[in-house]
Amino acid sequence: MGETVKERGDGSAELVKSVADKHAGLVRPVAKYYSAVKDAMVCGKGRYTLVKDVDEVENGVYDKPLPCFGCGIGWFSFLLGFVFPFLWYYATFLYFGNYYRKDPRERAGLAASAITGMGFSLLLLVIVVFWWL
């Protein structure tokens, strides 16, 4: 932090630490932070850098709307699966293929479709078994 070079009379130099660095445990925490900020200002020559411009607003990853009318492929498949049950199996394939890693907002709808597809398969199995008996 506050290291300086002290020159001796014989021409040699010695690296000397400040008293605050030697006894950092005795200094209040606020003083430690002030010292660190002061050192950063000295290193940066007192110039501030602009972090983000107000005019240049960038959209985040999740600011864009989901596909399929904004509700996502999973929920769209879940709802339309009551008319076309094949869509539940399509969403199940996407769910187990980790499609939701592209956009985590899709995970709930894909899981709901996978569970509904499994329930529909069990229902079909029960109907077919009882039909043949």
pLDDT (tens digit per residue) in 56-104:
556 676 777 878 888 888 899 999 999 999 999 999 999 989 887 888 8
Kindly report the number of other CB atoms within 10 A of residue 99's CB atom: 16
Q: Name the residue with higher pLDDT: 115 or 42.
A: 115
Name the amino acid, one letter, at 103: D
pTM of the complete model: 0.53
d(CA 33, CA 81): 59
Evaluate if residue 16 carries a pLDDT over 70: no
Asked whether the predicted pLDDT for residue 114 surpasses 60, the reply is yes
Name the β-bridge partners of 6.
14
Note whether 71 and 113 are within 8 A (CB).
no
pLDDT value of position 71? 84
Answer for the pair 2, 39: CB distance below 8 angstroms, yes or no.
yes
Helix boundaries (H) for the chain: 19-22, 29-43, 72-80, 86-96, 107-132
Q: What is the Rg, in whole angstroms, of the alpha carbon atoms belonging to the chain? A: 32
What SS3 class is residue 68? Answer: coil
pLDDT at residue 14 tops 60: yes
Range in 53-67, 97-111, 113-127 the model is least confident about: 53-67
